[in-house]
Chain A
Amino acid sequence: MRERLLPHFLLVPAFLIVLATTIYPLAYSLVTSFREWDLTKQRRPGDFVGLGNYLEAATESAFLNSLWVTTVFVVSSVVLTLVFAFSMALLLRRTGRLHTFTRIILILPFAMSPALIGVSYRFMFNPEFGVLAKGLGQLFPVLEGIPWLADPDLAMGILVATDVWHWTPYMTFMCLGGLASIPKETEEAARVDGASNLRIIFEIVLPQMKGVLLVTAVLKTIFALKMFDQVVTLTGGGPGISTETLAFFIFNVGFKWFDMGYASALAWILTLIMMAISAWYVRMLLSERKVVAA
């Protein structure tokens, strides 16, 4: 009996920590999302307003804009990161000193703080002294003097680029792990049969990498949905509201406008979106495994 209870007993401290740091705040924010709480007027949450905060979100143009901006950002960022990561993994799967060295160098962007990346890119795209703005202007005179971050589309493009630059190394390593698990025999057999490199990649490697790529996509999607740091330090959500992501908007509502009830509702909407996407990916992953098992 004691031996049976011991594992449960040992789990209690960890459970209590998770309860205090994750489950309680989540539950509290869920309850708060149904209440009115203007922090400038009340120290504690006020009256219940039912679905009022959620309905406000459904009709508020700023929220709908942030939802659209987030969608554009997530799709661009996830697709580009996966394409680059998979391509780089293919290039780096060989062994050798140069490849090992490149793999080590590759991790550097991922080691950088996202906020610092935003600040650095803001400097680099400064039209007066930014090294990238000046360099591009020198290489392509037509780009000289372009205020990169002042254009809504270019600003979004640069935001996506910084995120892809930041995450590609990590995702490359995930893909390298996946590639290492593919049996070499299938590729060799195809090569003997005269298949081209491209055909081998698309018809042999990619199908076997589907599981790894799905996991990579789930992770990248969740990280992209939370995009906040670079928005703050690179674009400030501008120009206008063209780069205001959902996480940035929620921060403004909660910690600049002090509307905690509404901010909680928005945070739960973001959580539900992430849960739904994760569930969809996992379902795809499981169905994939069933097909393989069959």
Chain B
Amino acid sequence: MSRLWPIPALILAALLPWLPGLPLFWVSIATTIGIAGIIAIGLVVLTGIGGMTSFAQASFMGFGAYASAIVSARYGFSPWLGLPLAIAVSGIAAAAIGAITLRLSGHYLALGTIAWSVSLYYLFGNLDLVGRNDGISDIPPLSLLGLKLIDVRWSAALIWCAVVLVAVATNHLLDSRWGRAIRALRGGAVAAASFGVDTARARMLAFVYAAMLAGLAGWLYAHLQRAVNPTPFGLVAGIQYLLMTVVGGAAYVPGALLGATLVALVNDRLQDWLPKLLGANGNYEVIVFGFILVGVLQLAPEGIWPHLARLRPRFRRIVPAPALPQRDKPARGTQVLQAEHLQKRFGGLAAVSDLSFAVAAGEILALIGPNGAGKSTSFNLLTGVAHPTSGSVRVTGRTVTGWPARRIASLGVARSFQHVKLVASMTVIENVAIGAHLRGTASPIAAVLRLDRAEEARLFAEAARQLDRVGLLEHASQPATSLALGQQRIVEIARALCLDPSLLLLDEPAAGLRHAEKQALADLLRRLRAEGMAVLLVEHDMDFVMNLADRLVVMDFGTVIAEGPPALVRQNPAVIEAYLGGVA
């Protein structure tokens, strides 16, 4: 699709409601769909892409609606002033609620939003400020150059122009440095943090962005309906917005609009048919919606949109761009990483009991040992994913014990994972670009306004350069998980190199590689060593290690049993016993 699609879309949105002969009924439905669609697009970012489920979006819509209603109906300000206010109030409410709720993970967060939604509903219904259960009426309509926009066609035009702008802004946000950070939350928060992504901030960004969209929808709703009360901001409404997103396809912006359209149309028909069918009046459509929600989750959990559209990963043209600045690297031979008497206990079990070693710039050190020797735990201690019970870790001379993973990453420590952690929904090159997160500075606002293009070009040029270095550039635009597992490990190395590291930690990089690929990997690591990189690797493939490493550290039962050059370690009786179980 052309990048200019928003312009015809805006013109269409502004003009279509005035089409002669178009029944007002459809125009009116379109306003409902548009308002719901804006909220559902927020949920795409939050739930479908960021992986955080919220049942409280209707409450944030309420914040926006009430904010504008109060200043325009009570204090006589222009409704246009209510727009920034509505968005700001929803955003601030989300930031406050998020600050005490977003640390919750998975289903706890979802339950937390249910609690908030119920609590806020009763708050709206009992506060004099927002008119208790009667709400606020006589809200002025929007006006333009003295013309009051009371005609529903004006509302539809305005709402759908807002939908187009929101869709554009959301696409811009998702295709940016912070957008990749939000998408990385799903692929593994540990991996994202290891590349310097502030995952708490990424979560908050998605939460506040979704709430601001809900606030915008609330503003549109308040001046369209011209009266607000707590009912449309309750939990049932919140569930319906999530329903729309799930039905349409939670990970896709067009899916949100599709879901909003389907739910609004079905809702309209049901409100007509069900009372006739059942002979009574009431909100019986929720019965059908409940069935639809469960049915979709059972039969097509990814929603309808991916079944309609042929989704291809977007091909990204790499434009030449000035190289990114590089950090000052430690001189060859200086100590980059020092671990001193590291100990990690899980209850009574000491996974690592006394580990000390150092890696210098321009050296490849291999950490080996039988299964369960404590190698992976050691990796986690060194990178800040876990914290040692005692002992210390120093990186380029600074004590980093107790630092979070992203701070350690900022010192130039990059890693790969034993179990590959790539984001399945992103292409190879987008995954690699996450590694360069810390080398960019563009804010989410810059991303929405597309002021980040020059920096993005540089980040992607760097990602392409690292992909080329590891020999996978031809796969750049493929979905990351379409590669063979061994190649995915190499993608992780490219991602790590994007960080411009002075220390590279690789967890079993050669596993799953063919012979020629192993040779290529060894050549790459030798080149990096020649450039002055410090490399620490955990590896089971002894041929690979013995031919490559300068020194070996052998672990067993959480402690070092031997250390030295490969030739010496190979003869060490303690090592032979650990691997072969002693002299038979």
Decide whether A and B assemble into one complex: no
Task: Show the binding face of B for A, using Cβ within 8 Å.
Answer: none
- Chain A residues engaging chain B, CB cutoff 8 angstroms: none
